[in-house]
């Protein structure tokens, strides 16, 4: 067990996973600029629901909590909460967007990839890097593709089980099944070496923006 201070920056779209049994996955930055992944996390945690009834988003907020390294996950960034009720959670300061996001940039842009092949090499053993900040030389396009409108039957069943698993968590208030997002979104980009890539967008907040304007 390790006490860690994490700046939450990314939350994925809620998706039952047969591989990792996660409901929602979050990612953030440690004080040294290293990435960390925290899962599984109940949906209400992402809304910042606290025992005093105050609701506040945890995006770009420093949190301190007890975490343990996932022994069943080869990815070095992967951790799980020690307490799924988050009674050990300490909410610290938030990082705002003043002066053109200056403070957020100083925290999130300490270790930046600009070469896609370098990132691909580092993602393989022994490094197994699975979270990184990547800055393209150019974003060349944006693509929206229609997807299935309903969850797969096995994912519906797993979602129900995941909700049961979190029933004892006082922060978990919503037992309704999450609506299936019927689209997939992609960025098309070029790196500093001219290599072209197509990357799917999985951040929940950004997906909500795109689906609202599509």
Query: Residues near 21 by Cβ (< 8 Å), separated by ≥ 6?
Result: 40, 158, 162
Do 47 and 93 share a structural domain?
Answer: yes
Q: What is the pLDDT of residue 125?
A: 94
**Strand-pair partners of 198:** 188
Q: Is residue 124 part of a domain?
A: no
Q: What is the mean pLDDT of each run of 10 residues along the chain (214 residues)?
A: 90 62 78 91 64 65 94 93 88 92 92 96 95 96 92 72 53 58 93 96 64 44
Instruction: Specify the DSSP element, H or E, that contains 120.
Output: helix 116-122
Residue whose C-alpha is closest to residue 78's, from 120, 156, 21:
21
Same domain for 102 and 8: yes
Residue 122 belongs to a domain: no
* pLDDT of the residue at 192: 97
Q: pTM of the prediction?
A: 0.78
Within the chain, what is the greatest distance between any pair of CA atoms? Answer: 52
Q: Is the same domain home to 86 and 160?
A: no
In this prediction, residue 157 carries a pLDDT of 73
């Amino acid at each position: 067990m390790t006490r860690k201070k994490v700046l939450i920056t990314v939350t994925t779209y809620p998706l039952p996973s047969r591989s990792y049994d996660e409901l929602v996955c979050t990612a953030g930055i440690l004080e040294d600029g290293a990435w960390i992944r925290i899962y599984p996390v109940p949906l209400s945690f992402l809304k910042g629901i606290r025992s005093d009834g105050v609701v506040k988003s945890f995006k770009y907020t420093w949190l301190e909590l007890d975490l343990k390294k996932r022994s069943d996950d080869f990815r070095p960034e992967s951790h799980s909460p020690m307490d799924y009720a988050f009674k050990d959670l300490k909410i610290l300061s938030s990082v705002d967007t003043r002066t053109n996001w200056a403070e957020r940039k100083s925290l999130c842009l300490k270790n930046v990839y600009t070469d896609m092949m370098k990132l691909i090499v580092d993602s393989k053993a022994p490094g197994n890097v699975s979270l990184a900040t990547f800055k393209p030389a150019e974003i060349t396009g944006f693509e929206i593709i229609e997807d299935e409108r309903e969850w797969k039957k096995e994912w519906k069943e797993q979602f129900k089980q995941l909700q049961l698993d979190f029933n004892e968590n006082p922060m978990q208030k919503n037992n309704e099944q999450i609506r299936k997002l019927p689209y997939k979104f992609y960025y098309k980009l070029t790196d500093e070496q001219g290599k072209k890539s197509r990357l799917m967008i999985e951040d929940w907040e950004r997906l909500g923006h795109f689906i609202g304007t599509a």
